[in-house]
């Protein structure tokens, strides 16, 4: 968006708003009836219609009220869609908008937003942020927010049982060929972490700052189902020496003995994926593991999880030019040859795919396929400033969250880059989370 003039920026924003809304509809009103949209498929997740109305409410708040000074359209519903007022497991009992009411509300908000975007200059008042200033950052934030909730909706779909409604996608491309080296070496030296000038980057990615990183090696690809299964079958879940104190406590209290959605039937390992059961694909990146499971596996192979800085250096740094790349391969937008993003496959791909998406150091699939756990606790970078509101990131700087990097198959290309930071509790595994391992070198 940095290179677009104002006319082109307006068009880009309008196109991206439309594209993300089609995606949201495809996960909700287009595929599920009213009862299913209002149902709680898991205590960990909201009813899908909550996410839907919430993204509309966020759009109204940021693109009509905060930036234009418009009055609230539905002051009665604001509280219902405030994520901090109501924990996910209490949302089904709220007087939520019914799916058709939510649809009407979203459409009305969107009509006003497009009217404002297409006709008048968007600044209505001097004392309000101009959403088109700074390359349309506020629009970018709203678009990314809806994509993030679409990914959350996919996690809800994964927990849902019943008639399958999402594409089966059992026709994966053949592996690109054997991965030559199991790990890539990243020599010691400084690199630039985060960004100051990426126009649609969010507050927690800022500012850019130099970090000196010791020499390390990191897996060329994410850990596969087959590799993780070896850990399961070797008794990894029964050996407390492999787990941290908190990890072993989780293991014992939860009783878990394999990644979420895996199960064994007459000696065969199967998994449930979007209401269908299939054989566990060994060569595909493992997903639905929590931080503790990733950490225990890494210890079992005599390695460790990468730090967040190590991950970002391996993904983004070009040591030849000493510059940073927005994507592992460079500045070009992601495409089918470079990364598994954008909810086209509804699953991770085989480890070793996407040679055209390699980072400068030769790491593959750093962006796309699965979110990757790092060992780093989520906190602000030096010079962090909450923007435009502390509830996006700052309220989570409480030592309770670990950073995940790189996006996954469900992440839209618009909502990920090498600086993008995600975070979750170390026990969470309903997200599309995997990992790769590292070691000091
Ligand atoms: C960045 C994915 C952790 O879903 O909790 C959505 C994104 N923030 N609405 C989340 C978000 C506000 C956030 N994560
Ligand atoms: Fe939200």
pLDDT (0 to 100) of residue 124: 45
Mean pLDDT score across all residues of the chain: 94
Which is the closest atom of ligand 1 to the Cα of 423? Answer: 3
CA–centroid distance, residue 315 to ligand 2 (Å): 27
DSSP class of 66: I
Tell me which H or E stretch contains 233: helix 225-233
Non-local (6+) Cβ contacts of 237 within 8 A are 251, 256, 257, 258, 296
Assessment of whether the complete model's pTM goes beyond 0.80:
yes
ipTM, interface predicted TM-score of the complex: 0.99
Q: 217 alpha carbon to ligand 2 midpoint, in Å?
A: 36
- Concatenating the DSSP letter of every residue in 257-314 gives -SSTTEEEETTEEEEEETTEEEE--TTBBP-S--HHHHHHHHHHTT-BPPPHHHHHHH
Mutate to test the pocket of ligand 1, among 61, 148, 415 (most ligand atoms within 8 A of CB): 148
98 is annotated as contributing to ligand binding: no
Residue nearest to atom 10 of ligand 1 (CA): 148
Q: Say how many Å lie between the CA of residue 147 and the centre of ligand 2.
A: 10
Mind listing the pLDDT tens digit for each residue in 47-78? Answer: 999 999 999 999 999 999 988 889 999 999 99
Ligand 1 neighbours (beta carbon < 6 A): 145, 148-149, 152, 392, 422-423
Q: Is 54 annotated as a binding residue?
A: yes
- Per-residue pLDDT tens digits for 155-189: 999 999 999 999 998 876 666 666 678 999 999 99
From ligand 2's centre to the CA of 180, what distance in Å? Answer: 41
For residue 395, how far is its CA from the centre of ligand 2 (angstroms)? 14
What is d(CA 392, CA 211) in angstroms, rounded to the nearest whole number? 24
* Host H or E run for residue 422: strand 421-424
Residue pLDDT, tens place only, 291-339: 999 999 999 999 999 999 999 999 999 999 999 999 999 999 999 999 9
DSSP label of 41? S
Contacts of 126 (CB under 8 A, 6+ apart): none
Strands 323-324 and 371-377 come out as unpaired
Q: How does pLDDT run across 91-147, given as a tens digit for each residue?
A: 999 999 999 999 999 999 999 999 988 754 544 455 666 666 788 899 999 999 999
Q: What is the pLDDT of residues 197-228, one digit of tens each?
A: 999 999 999 999 999 999 999 999 999 999 99
pLDDT of 19 higher than 90: yes
Tens-place pLDDT, residues 328-343: 999 999 999 999 999 9
Give the pLDDT score at 175.
Answer: 61
pLDDT at 67: 84
Output the pLDDT for position 201.
96
Three-state SS for 398?
coil
Q: Cα dist. 358→16, 237, 317, 337 in Å?
A: 27, 33, 12, 11
| CB-based contact 343:303 (threshold 8 Å) | no
Q: Which ligand is nearest to the CA of 51?
A: 2
Question: What is the average per-residue pLDDT within 232-241?
Answer: 98
């Amino acid at each position: 968006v940095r290179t677009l003039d104002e006319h082109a920026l307006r068009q880009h924003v309008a196109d991206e708003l439309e594209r993300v809304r089609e995606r949201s509809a495809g996960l909700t009103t287009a595929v599920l009836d009213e009862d299913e949209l209002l149902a709680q498929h898991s205590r960990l997740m909201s009813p899908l219609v909550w996410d839907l109305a919430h993204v509309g409410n966020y759009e109204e708040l940021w693109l009509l009220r905060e930036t234009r000074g418009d009055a609230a359209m539905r002051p009665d519903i604001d509280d219902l869609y405030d994520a901090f007022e109501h924990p996910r497991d209490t949302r089904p009992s709220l007087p939520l908008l019914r799916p058709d009411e939510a649809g009407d509300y979203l459409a009305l908000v969107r009509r006003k937003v497009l009217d404002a975007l297409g006709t008048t200059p968007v600044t209505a008042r001097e004392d309000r942020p101009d959403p088109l200033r700074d390359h349309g950052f506020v629009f970018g934030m709203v678009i990314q927010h809806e994509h993030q909730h679409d990914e959350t909706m996919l996690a809800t779909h994964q927990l849902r049982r019943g008639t399958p409604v999402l594409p089966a996608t059992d026709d994966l491309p053949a592996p690109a060929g054997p991965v030559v080296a199991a790990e890539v070496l990243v020599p010691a030296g400084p690199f630039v972490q985060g960004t100051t000038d990426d126009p649609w980057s969010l507050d927690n990615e800022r500012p850019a700052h130099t970090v000196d990183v010791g020499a390390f090696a990191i897996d060329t690809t994410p850990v596969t189902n087959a590799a993780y299964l070896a850990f399961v079958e070797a008794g990894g879940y029964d050996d407390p020496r492999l787990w941290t104190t908190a990890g072993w406590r989780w293991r014992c209290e939860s009783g878990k003995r394999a990644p979420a959605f895996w199960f064994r039937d007459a000696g065969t390992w199967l998994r449930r994926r979007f209401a269908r059961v299939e054989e566990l694909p060994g060569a595909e990146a493992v997903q639905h593991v929590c931080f503790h499971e990733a950490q225990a596996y890494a210890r079992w192979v005599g390695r460790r999880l990468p730090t967040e800085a190590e991950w970002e250096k391996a993904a983004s740094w070009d040591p030849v030019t000493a510059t940073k790349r927005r994507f592992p391969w460079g500045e070009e937008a992601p495409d089918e040859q470079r990364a598994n993003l954008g909810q086209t496959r509804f699953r991770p791909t085989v480890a070793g795919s996407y040679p055209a998406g390699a980072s400068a150091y030769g790491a593959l699939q750093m962006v796309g396929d699965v979110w990757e756990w790092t060992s780093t606790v989520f906190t602000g970078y030096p010079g962090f400033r909450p923007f435009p509101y502390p509830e996006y990131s700052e309220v989570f700087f409480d030592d309770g969250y670990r950073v995940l990097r790189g996006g996954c198959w469900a992440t839209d290309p618009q909502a990920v880059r090498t600086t993008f930071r995600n975070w979750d509790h170390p026990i969470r595994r309903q997200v599309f989370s995997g990992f790769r391992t590292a070691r000091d070198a």
